[in-house]
Amino acid sequence: MDRKRKAYAPFSQTSEAGVAQTPVEGYIDVSQMIYPVVQTGVVNEKGQWTGVKSSDDDFFDITKHVAVPNTGETLSPDTGTSNFIDMTGFTDIQLAIKPTNTGNYKIEAVMGPDTNRYANLSPVNAGTRLRGIPANQPDMEDWVIDSAEALADTWNIFYIERRLQNQKLLQFKITNNSGGESTFEVAFMRMV
């Protein structure tokens, strides 16, 4: 938006010349230009471009686990192109599971595969439960473990708040405890 306004010029040419009184036409035209600004990121203290994170629009890395026997375990995601979730810059995650066999399922957040680095560390203790100390607590605890979640044969969506924020190598270990063989799909959505 472009518009003009009048502004007082306290240091006009007559003021510079030492004239004490306010000069005639002591106001000047000032053009004001207003431009929209979109913040897409910053250059951080290391001199690297860091983009602003935004929540995922859709569920991603949909993994299909076929004919998992009762008490069988699977790791998700495992799509062939992606075998872990990078939560860097994200605080929350939604986990969606759609089994063919209604019943109980065990859900655990675990360290991702040892084929990938965690920042500059390799190998990691893959498949182990993620543990940490929450604020105002004295002891380590498991971040996400649900030993008996009853799932229907539709998409069951779970919201996990803050527990897994900034985890670089994240997988979910899902155990079929439904009492029979089950095929299930798993998907994820990250939020800032």
pLDDT at residue 34, as a whole number: 77
pLDDT of 160 > 80? The answer is: yes
pLDDT at 148 over 60: yes
Write down the domain spans for the chain. 2-33, 54-191
Contact 100, 156 (CB under 8 A): no
At 50, the pLDDT band (50, 70, 90 cuts) reads confident
Q: Encode pLDDT of 103-144 as tens digits.
A: 999 999 999 898 888 989 999 999 999 999 988 888 999 999
Res. 99: pLDDT tops 60: yes
Q: How many residues does the chain have?
A: 192
What does the pLDDT look like over 165-175, one tens digit per residue?
999 999 999 99
Among the listed residues 170, 115, 114, the one whose alpha carbon sits nearest the alpha carbon of residue 143: 170
Name the CATH topology of 54-191.
Jelly Rolls (2.60.120)
Residue scoring higher pLDDT (127 or 7): 127
